[in-house]
Amino acid sequence: MRSFVDNLIQPSEDIPGNILSVLNPSPWSEVFGERMEFYNEAVSHTWTINPTTVNTVSVFWTQMSAHNAAAVKDINGQNVCWSRYINVNELPGQCFMEGFSVSGGEGFNGGWTEPSQEVRTTYGVYDNLSKTIGRHVLSFGMNLQHQYAAENTQFPTTPIIGFNGQYTGNGLADWLLGYMQSYEQGAGEIAVVRGWQPGFYGQDQFRIRPNLTITAGLRWDPNIAPGVAGGRGAAFVPGQQSTLFPNSPVGLVFPGDKGISDGLMPNSYKAYWEPRVGVAWQPSFLPNTSIRAAFGMFTAPLQYSMYNHTADISPFSPTFTLQGGLNTPLSLSDPWSQNAGTNFVSPFPPFAPFKPPSDAPFATPFTIPAVFDQNFKLGVTQSWNLSIEHQFGANLIVRGAYVGSESYHQSDIIDQNPGICGPIVAGACSNGGRTTFPNFINILDNFSNGTSSYNALQLSVERHLNHGLQVQSNFTWSKTMDTASSGNISFGTNQLPNPFNLEFNRGISAENVPFIWVTNLIYTTPTLRDKNGFIRQTLGSWEVGGIITLQSGFPFGISGGDGNNNSGSLQFEDRADVVPGQALDVRSGGKAQWLNQYFNTAAFTAPSGSLGPNGDSCAFGDAGRNLLTGPGFVNVDISMFKDFQVKEMFKIQTRLEAFNATNTPHFANPNSDLSTQSNFGEITHLSSNMRIVQLAVKVIF
C-alpha cells in the first residue's frame, strides 16, 4: 500500500502598477497564484496461486484539485480589469485581466490569470494473470479506470483582447492607437465529464530455443465516450435542426437530438485491436551479441481536457469572438458596437450557469469554440524497431538501433467555417467573411485526420562502473513530420492555415530536432584510505558528474505576417512566398552577421496569387512548413558532492551544481514574421538561461 499527498501553495508574483510583471512566461505558472492538492493512493496484491501461476491486482485512486488566480494590480493596489476603462460588462464583483496580447513586432502576452477551479479524479483496477506452461509464459489482464473531470472557471468571462499589427504593421502601434483586431468573451466554462476507459490484453512469451524468444500479444482498447453532465455541449451537423432548442441555427445540435449522445462523439469498439510482436535472439556464433526487433500498434487514450471548451456554447454558456475587418479595426472603447459592419449589443451579464428553456434565444453570428467531429477516432500509432547490442569485455556495451513510427487519426483543430477569399485588392483579400455557414463565425472542430511519422538512427555506448568511472553516451539522428504539432483544442493553437488542403500543412514537425548527442559521466575520486584523516575527509571520495549536450536547433517557418492574412481564411497566419532564385543563406558568416540576419530575408515575400477553392484569388503562401532550422547549442552541466562522516550515525553532504557551466549563450530562433520589417530575420533573445550555480548542504542522521 502506498500514499502520496502533495500540497502546493504559491502566491502570485505580480508587481502592482506593472502589467509586464504578469507577462505570459515559460512556464506560465511562475507568476500565477496557485493552490493545488495532489493525492495518489494505491493498494496492490500479488498472489502466488501455485509455482507456475501468479496474479497481481492493483486498485488505485488519484486526484488533482487546483484553485488558481492572480489579480493584476494598479499602482494603488486595486485590481485591473477592462470594465474599468471601456464599455464592457464582466462578472459582478470580480476584476481580472486575461489573455491580453500584443503581437506583430515587439509585443507581450498578459497571461491567463482569471480564477479557475478544476478537480480531476481517476480510480480503477488493473489485473494481470501470468501462467508458465513449459516454454510458454502466458499473460492475460485488464485495465479498467474511471475518469472524472470537473471544471468551474471564469474563463472567458473577462474580455480577451488582441492587437496584432494588422492596421499599422506594428502590434505596439496598433495597441497605442486602439486598433483592436480581436475580442472574445463568454459566460464561463463550467463542465463535468465522466466515463470509463477499459482495456484488455493477452500475450504469449515463447522461448523457442535457449537463445531465441518470440513474444506475441493482442490488446483491445474500445473508445467509450464519456458523458457530459446536463448536456452542456453540442455537435455540428450541417443541415440538421435541433428539436431540443428550435431557435438554434441550423447545424447546431445537442445531446438528446437525433444521433447526438452525451459523449458528443460516437463510441467505437472495432477499430482498436492492437497486435504486438517481438523477437529477441542471441546468435550462438556471436555469444556477446543480442538482436531484437519488434512491431506494435498503440492507441492514445482520450484526454478529457479536450472537453473543456465544449461547454462554452449557447445557450448554456455563449461565447463570442469578434474580429476586425481587414481595414476596419474593432472599437476598443466600445467593442460590441461593431463587427465588420454588423451591430452587436453585449449579451453579458448574466454569467451564472443555468438550465436554459427550450425556447432560449440564439444571437447570431457566434463562435462554436469546440465540437467533436462526428467521425472522430482515437489516435493510433504503428511502431517498429530493430536493435543490435554487443558487449566488449566486462564493462563496455555498444548499441545501434533503427526506430520508426507512423501515427494516424491524430487529433487536430480545423475550422469548418473558414473565411473565403475574394479577389485580391491592393495586395489583400477583399472578402474575409464567413460565407459557408453565415450564422456562425468560427466552428472549431476536434477532428482526427492528422498524421505524423518518426524515423531515427540511435547509437549508444555504455561503460559500467569500473575503477570509479561510469559513462553513457547516446546519439540520435532523426526526422519527425506531422500535420500539426498541437492538437488539443483546449490548449493548442489552430495550426492549419489552409483548411481546404491538409497536405499543405504536412511537413517538418515543430518538435523535430535532427541531431542530439548527450554524454553523461560520473567519477568517484580515490578514497585515500592510506592518508591521514584530514586529507581523507577533505580530498577523498568526491563524486564528480557531468552532462554534455550537443543539439540541433528547433525548426521554424516564415509567416506571411499577422497583417497579411491575404487568404482570408482567418485560420492561422499565412506563410510567405519564396522568391525564386534567392538563396536561403541560413547562418552564413560569423556570429555578428547571423545574429542580425540569420537567413536571407530577401528570399521571402508576402503571399499572393494562389487559387482558392472557388476559383477566387487567395494567398496561403508557398513556403514550406518549418523549412528552416534555428541555432543549435552546446551545454555542459557539472556537479560535485561528498558525504563528510562526522560520527557513525551522523554525516553532512555538500553538493555543488552548475547548469550551463561554460556560460554559453543559447540563442532563440530569429524573428520569422514578415510583417515586422524592423527586425525580420534577427535574433533578439536567448532560448534559455545563462550559467546557474547552486550550493546545498544536507545533514543526514
Q: Beta strands 555-556 and 116-133: pairing type?
A: unpaired
CA dist 208 and 367 (Å) reads 61
343, pLDDT greater than 60: no
Residue 236: what pLDDT? 94
CA dist 488 and 447 (Å) reads 10
Which of 530, 444, 526 has the alpha carbon at shortest distance from 489? 444
Helices (H), 83-226: 171-177
Least confident of 470-484, 491-505, 653-667: 491-505
Residues 172-184: tens digit of each pLDDT: 899 999 999 888 8
The answer to whether 255 and 261 are in contact (CB under 8 A) is yes
Please, what is the average pLDDT of the chain? 86
CA dist 316 and 186 (Å) reads 10
Cis peptide before 347 (omega within 30 of 0): no
Residues 612-649: tens digit of each pLDDT: 444 444 567 888 889 999 999 999 999 999 988 787 78
User: What is the three-state SS of 319-354?
Assistant: EEEEECCCCCCEECCCHHHCCCCCCCCCCCCCCCCC
Sign of CA dihedral 477, 478, 479, 484: negative
DSSP at 670: P
The residue type at 343: N
Residue 32: what pLDDT? 56
CA dist 151 and 353 (Å) reads 12
CA dist 193 and 147 (Å) reads 8
The answer to whether 687 and 667 are in contact (CB under 8 A) is yes
Which of 573, 673, 667 has the alpha carbon at shortest distance from 620? 573
Percent of the chain with pLDDT over 70: 88
At residue 596, the 3 state secondary structure works out as helix
Q: How confident is the model at residue 421 (pLDDT cuts 50, 70, 90)?
A: low
Residue 322: what pLDDT? 83
273, pLDDT greater than 80: yes
Residue 339: what pLDDT? 54
Number of C-alpha atoms within 13 angstroms, CB side, residue 437? 24
Phi, psi of 517 (to 5 degrees): -130, 115
Residue 442: what pLDDT? 81
Residue 219: what pLDDT? 97
The answer to whether 375 and 408 are in contact (CB under 8 A) is no
Cis peptide before 315 (omega within 30 of 0): yes
Phi, psi of 311 (to 5 degrees): -80, -10
Element (H, E) at 103: none
29, pLDDT greater than 50: no
Residues 106-144: tens digit of each pLDDT: 777 776 778 888 899 999 999 999 999 999 999 999 999
Helices (H), 49-164: none
Which of 601, 531, 525, 617 has the alpha carbon at shortest distance from 567? 617
The answer to whether 403 and 458 are in contact (CB under 8 A) is yes
The answer to whether 623 and 576 are in contact (CB under 8 A) is yes
> Environment class of residue 333 by beta-carbon count within 10 Å: exposed (0-12), middle (13-18) or buried (19+)?
exposed
The answer to whether 589 and 616 are in contact (CB under 8 A) is no
Chain center to CA of 494: 12
Residue 665: what pLDDT? 93
CA dist 422 and 123 (Å) reads 53
563, pLDDT greater than 80: no
Task: Quote the pTM value.
Answer: 0.83
Query: Which one is predicted more confidently, 176 or 320?
Result: 176
423, pLDDT greater than 70: no
340, pLDDT greater than 50: no
Residues 362-413: tens digit of each pLDDT: 877 777 888 999 999 999 999 999 999 999 998 999 999 999 999 999 988 8
> Environment class of residue 164 by beta-carbon count within 10 Å: exposed (0-12), middle (13-18) or buried (19+)?
buried
Q: How confident is the model at residue 30 (pLDDT cuts 50, 70, 90)?
A: very low
Element (H, E) at 356: none
Number of C-alpha atoms within 13 angstroms, CB side, residue 162? 18
Per-residue pLDDT averaged across 239-258, rounded?
Answer: 94
CA dist 621 and 605 (Å) reads 9
CA dist 107 and 165 (Å) reads 10
Which of 397, 659, 459 has the alpha carbon at shortest distance from 548? 659
User: What is the three-state SS of 423-447?
Assistant: CEECCEECCCCCCCCCCEEEEEEEE
567, pLDDT greater than 50: no
CA dist 492 and 482 (Å) reads 15
In the block, which residue shows the cell 469548418? 416
The answer to whether 186 and 88 are in contact (CB under 8 A) is no
Element (H, E) at 677: none
606, pLDDT greater than 90: no
Phi, psi of 15 (to 5 degrees): -110, 120
At residue 661, the 3 state secondary structure works out as coil
Which of 316, 36, 370, 335 has the alpha carbon at shortest distance from 188? 316
User: What is the three-state SS of 555-580?
Assistant: EECCECCCCCCCCCCCCCCCECEECC
Residues 452-467: tens digit of each pLDDT: 999 999 999 999 988 8
211, pLDDT greater than 50: yes
The answer to whether 353 and 316 are in contact (CB under 8 A) is yes
Query: Which one is predicted more confidently, 56 or 427?
Result: 56
Per-residue pLDDT averaged across 569-576, rounded?
Answer: 63
The answer to whether 13 and 23 are in contact (CB under 8 A) is no
493, pLDDT greater than 70: no
